[in-house]
Amino acid sequence: MSLRAKCGASITTPIYHDLNMNKKFYITTPIYYVNDQPHIGHAYTTVAADVLARFHRQKGDDVFFLTGTDEHGAKVAESAKLAGQKPKEFVDEVVELYRIAWKNLNITHDEFIRTTDPAHIEAVGKFMQKLMDNGRLYEDTYEGLYCVGCEKFMTEKELVDGYCPDHRKKPKKIKEKNYFFKLAKYLDQVKDLIQTDQINIQPAEMKKEVLGLFKQGLGDFSVSRQKVKWGIPLPFDPAHNIYVWVEALQNYISAIGYGDNRDEFERWWPADCHLMAKDILKFHAIYWPALLLAVGEKPPKGLFIHGFFSINGQKMSKSLGNVINPNDLVEQYGSDATRYLLLSQFPFGQDGDIKESLFAEKYNSDLANGLGNLASRTAKLLEKNEIEIKSAKQPISDKVIDDINDQIERYKFDEALKSIMRLVAEANKYLDQEAPWKLTEADSERRSEVLNNVASWITTMARLFYPFMPIASHSLVEQFTGPKVKKEEGLFPRK
């Protein structure tokens, strides 16, 4: 489903100085594992992707923004069984929760892919067949440990006191025939692509971490499972299902026509940015490029890895009961403010702590008292004095505008938002100093000039923060474009 039509019209190109129109920009979130309901962690990644997608669309780029759900594997089958449902019934229900959460957060994905979609299943079959035909797979016996919680094979070295450190469960001992992928053949090539930034991994610490993984020694990995029944069968040996990780990664190409529509595929591939948290780095930075090279496709151009966050200083977990539901935040603050509050707390790309108490505090200081107050008092004065909007000189310097755009492009969302809030503060200060409410009819020209300056300030800022707070942006641009300005209900009512 395309949501592209929704975000257009009145937010026309803001003042971009690098007008490299019609570049394509393909951005993805990880597909979320439906064993879990959407929480603030998923929302964080998805909002960030949406900010980038909106930013690039606003710039005139040709954007494809993909998100979706990962629905196969033993863990999902177990959860469905516990819920007394068939796997497909179970996943259909959870997927709906993701759709609702993204709608509430005003996410403008161009496609929501599900790994149970027939088109994905077909594309994956073709990809696996090609790996086989190219001689990149071989059959062998796997004997070892498997953590169902991680859906990963594990080694004794990775365990803590015999337990999976993430799930605190004993991994299962399994012995079965698997197909293995000849990873070794591609390791040097993938490493070289990362070192030379042809696969551009950001931030720099994460690139370093990936390069470190090569030193640990990476072995061939299994691409199929015989005992996991909820999955996609290997086309050449249907007694096996495709290992869920290997299958899930392929969503990034099945969504854009891999194996079915070469023109569409080449229009978007390679992805410009796979966005993710660091726990899935190895799969994306090493296994995924190697698999692509093995079927003769290009690796992704870029990966951006954001940090983990804690909630009020604690690790987020169901057992601690501190999991934040993004829908609750939207209900309390609205979608724009939730997006703002999520991305302004700490630098994207670093670990950080989400402080719930800061939500209300920042909401009031930045949005209600800052931006909301600026807009409402300016509109009130314009209306009261019956001042029409004339084209005023753009009060924000080109340098400041370029810097903010540059910060967004470089994933420095918190800095961009800080810069924008500085502009809000400056405009409020200017209004206080000029005090147009004190000017009499004799100074009506000056009064009109001051208020027109502020109106122009507001519309310019609104275009700058459009990727973060699209609803407020639209409404401010509409309100202050004039010619007549009316005072409206507060954008961000004080909490």
Residues contributing to the site for Zn ion (CB under 5 A): 147, 149-150, 164, 166-167
C-beta of 279: minimal distance to Zn ion in Å? 11
C-beta of 165: minimal distance to Zn ion in Å? 7
Q: Are strands 237-242 and 233-234 parallel, antiparallel or unpaired?
A: antiparallel
C-beta of 35: minimal distance to Zn ion in Å? 12
Which of 43/150 has CB closer to Zn ion?
A: 150
Q: What share of the chain is helix, strand, coil (3-state, %, to 5)?
A: 50, 15, 35
**Residues 6 or more apart from 193 whose CB is under 8 A from it?**
199, 289, 299
C-beta of 218: minimal distance to Zn ion in Å? 19
Which of 173/215 has CB closer to Zn ion?
A: 173
Long-range CB contacts for residues 324-330, cutoff 8 Å, separation at least 24: 324/39, 324/40, 324/354, 324/356, 325/37, 325/38, 325/39, 325/40, 326/38, 326/39, 326/40, 326/42, 326/43, 326/101, 326/104, 326/105, 327/100, 327/101, 327/104, 329/40, 329/43, 329/359, 330/104, 330/105
* Helix, coil or strand: residue 471: helix
Question: Cα(119)–Cα(272) distance, rounded to whole angstroms?
Answer: 22
C-beta of 166: minimal distance to Zn ion in Å? 4
C-beta of 478: minimal distance to Zn ion in Å? 50
Which of 228/461 has CB closer to Zn ion?
A: 228
Which of 166/361 has CB closer to Zn ion?
A: 166
Question: Is the distance from CB of 44 to CB of 344 less than 8 angstroms?
Answer: no
Cα dihedral: 252, 257, 263, 269 (round 10) = 0
Closest by Cα among 365, 374, 370, 395 to 460: 395
**Residues 6 or more apart from 149 whose CB is under 8 A from it?**
75, 164, 166, 167, 169
C-beta of 15: minimal distance to Zn ion in Å? 49
C-beta of 146: minimal distance to Zn ion in Å? 9
Which of 166/406 has CB closer to Zn ion?
A: 166
Q: What amino acid positions are annotated as catalytic residues?
A: 39, 42, 147, 150, 164, 167, 315, 318
* Helix, coil or strand: residue 130: helix
CB atoms within 10 A of CB 26: 26
Which of 138/163 has CB closer to Zn ion?
A: 163
Strand locations in 56-182 (E): 62-70, 111-114, 137-147, 152-154, 172-181
Give the helix/strand (H/E) hosting 37.
none
b/e for 370-398, b at 16 or more Cβ within 10 A?
Answer: bbbbbbbbbbebbeeeebebeebeebbee
The one-letter amino acid at 451: L
**Residues 6 or more apart from 192 whose CB is under 8 A from it?**
none
Which of 149/482 has CB closer to Zn ion?
A: 149
Which of 167/429 has CB closer to Zn ion?
A: 167
